[in-house]
A and B are shown apart, each in its own frame.
Chain A
Amino acid sequence: MTNTWALAALWGGLALAATLLAIWFKISTALSEIVVGTVAQLIIGLLFAQGGLLGNTQWITFLAGTGAIVLTFLAGAELDPTVFKTKWRETLVIGLAGFFGPFLGCTAAAHYLLHWSVVSSWLCGVALSTTSVAVVYAVMLELGFNVTEYGKSILAACFINDIGTVVALGLIFSPFTVKTLIFIAVSVAVFAALPFVTPWFFRKYGGRVSEIEAKYLLFVLFALGGLALWAGSEAVLPAYMIGMVLAGTVGKDHALIRRLRTLTFGLLTPFYFIRAGSFVSVPALIAAPATMFILFLAKSLTKAAAVYPAVRAHRYDGSSGAYYTLMMSTGLTFGTISALFGYNHHIIDQAQYSYIVGTVIASAVIPTMIANSFFLPRHLLPHALAGRKPEPAVKRQAAAEEA
């Protein structure tokens, strides 16, 4: 298929179908797009064309890459900078434990149990070390703990965990040369300057129809992304850090964040997630389901083994201790970005990519599925019910007259 508009229509149609599925089944669009990409690649590849969705077409690769960069920037911009100012030490300990546990554990599992090469195993460790900040935040909102000190420190720990992932992804697989040093030096200088330059620039030139804010951000993201690639690193590393350093300024500009979201969800991320799904080999998953099971188990156990002691060491136990388990959920964005990086750079093959993405999806979905299948309102657990009674609709005669 060489007709650009026909190919664009196909991808647009798949994005539309994925969004409808997400609405009907109340699942995240990212998950829906990955699954639609996988299924569409399988069907179209089998029935119509050898190349299937042609996910490696240059313009699709560009849109998908931009989607990953902007999505990572938005994830970083959601950080609440004030949470780091209090309890930074425990945040750091829990966050680093959450990263290093599965990072080292899954690397070891991939190498010693699945006999993957050393570099493939490291990639696997990076991809499965992530934590979904959004999953943690969602449950905290549900239980009303998002405003507590404990809730805030766990959320901050999730950001630290993900910083570990993007830094590992950006630095482990690149050769350490003079280019790396230049990349680090320039990045640090830009990160230091951005919180001051950006608000000034937006105040002076912003608020116009020409959307200069979006152009400014895209310029900075592309420029540092290009520098990262030049140094053999990954463009999402500077994107996440730029998001974090601008969280206190740009991150609070809701109108701008909304416009960026429109651009991201409307155009960019469908290409990113459908493309990520299209590289998943269903035959490989069917051929060796035990591989995915081993990786899932390794991720869950090592995350728990690392985070639990760190949480206990900071005297969080009882009902609040349950939150550490939330950190076991993997974020789809960082998990697939890491896997896709490995696949694009020939660090892992298509089968290994499929196992890692399958595990990323499983670790994001299975806790939710279990929670929904064995539904029991958490607020009705015995400790929550103590002393609660409804206002009666039927009263004794005397009491009713008195009332």
Chain B
Amino acid sequence: MGSTVFVGFQRILVAFDASPHAEHALDVALSMAADMKAKLFVLSVIRPPEPAESAEFNAVLEDMRERYQRSFAPIRERARQKEIELETEIVVGHPAEQIIHRADTIQASLIVMGKRSHTILHRWMLGSNSERVLKYAHCPVMIVH
């Protein structure tokens, strides 16, 4: 039986919601991707309000798409400077599910995400996305504090 060697994470998925926690996670992911010559996938998930109501739903969708598109421009520039192959994507749905699903389809070797501090009530009602990703992801998950 031959020995095994760590070849680095070749496909890194970073979950990005434009929050300070996500910015921090993005810094780490960019740095890792540069060091390991990995391809970086930046995924932003729009979570519609529940239950979705027509006019509000479309307004949220449009606003968040524009916001994320604006955020992606400096990320692309940083990736270009570090010579990192980058892919950005905006999807709609439950954040944890979409992160897990995207990691699965792109065969990510690592998921990087920021940890948000939630109140007990918030966690009870909505759950923690990072905990859910940790529970169901098929690959290693890095939670950046």
CA distance A138 to B49 in the complex (A): 10
For window 94-113 of B, CB contacts with A under 8 Å fall at 94, 96-98, 100-101, 103-105, 107-110
**Per-residue CB proximity of B3-23 to A under 8 Å, as 1/0?**
111111111000000000000
B97: chain A residues within 8 A (beta carbon): 142, 377-379
**Per-residue CB proximity of B116-145 to A under 8 Å, as 1/0?**
000000100111000010001011100000
B140: chain A residues within 8 A (beta carbon): 393
**Per-residue CB proximity of B74-111 to A under 8 Å, as 1/0?**
00000000000000000111101110110111011110
B51: chain A residues within 8 A (beta carbon): 27-28, 31, 132, 134-135, 329, 332, 364-365, 368
Contact B53 A332, beta carbon cutoff 8 Å: yes
Most B C-beta atoms less than 10 A away, residue of A134, A261, A333: A134
The 5 tightest CB contacts between A and B, nearest first, are A142-B93, A134-B52, A379-B101, A390-B139, A141-B92
Closest Cβ neighbor of B125 among chain A residues: A25
Whether a CB of chain B sits under 8 angstroms from the CB of A398 is yes
Contact B54 A379, beta carbon cutoff 8 Å: no
CB distance from A266 to the nearest CB of B (A): 11
Contact B53 A138, beta carbon cutoff 8 Å: no
15 more contacts with CB within 8 A, not counting A28-B50, A141-B92, A390-B107, are A27-B49, A28-B49, A28-B57, A133-B54, A141-B93, A142-B91, A265-B56, A265-B59, A364-B51, A372-B126, A375-B96, A388-B107, A390-B138, A391-B139, A395-B7
Contact A26 B47, beta carbon cutoff 8 Å: yes
| Chain A residues in the interface with B (C-beta under 8 A) | 22, 24-31, 71, 74-75, 78, 132-135, 137-138, 141-143, 254, 258, 261, 264-265, 329, 331-333, 364-365, 368, 372, 375-380, 385, 388-398, 400, 403
B96: chain A residues within 8 A (beta carbon): 375, 377
Q: Is the interface of B mostly helix, strand, loop or mixed?
A: mixed
Query: Could you write out 22 A-B pairs with CB less than 8 Å apart?
Result: A26-B47, A26-B50, A26-B126, A27-B50, A28-B52, A71-B55, A78-B55, A78-B58, A132-B52, A133-B54, A134-B54, A141-B91, A258-B59, A372-B125, A377-B97, A377-B132, A378-B97, A388-B105, A391-B109, A395-B5, A396-B3, A397-B3
Contact A138 B48, beta carbon cutoff 8 Å: yes
CA distance A398 to B1 in the complex (A): 11
Q: A-B contact count, CB below 8 Å? A: 161
CA distance A375 to B50 in the complex (A): 15
Contact A142 B56, beta carbon cutoff 8 Å: no
Contact A135 B55, beta carbon cutoff 8 Å: no
A31: chain B residues within 8 A (beta carbon): 51, 53
**Per-residue CB proximity of B28-63 to A under 8 Å, as 1/0?**
000000000000000000011111111111110110
Most A C-beta atoms less than 10 A away, residue of B61, B97, B109: B97
Say yes or no: A75-B4 contact (C-beta < 8 A), given A138-B48, A377-B97, A389-B107.
no
Cross-interface CB contact of B136 among A30, A380, A393, cutoff 8 Å = A380
Contact A391 B11, beta carbon cutoff 8 Å: yes
CB distance from A37 to the nearest CB of B (A): 15
Contact B5 A388, beta carbon cutoff 8 Å: no
B48: chain A residues within 8 A (beta carbon): 134, 138
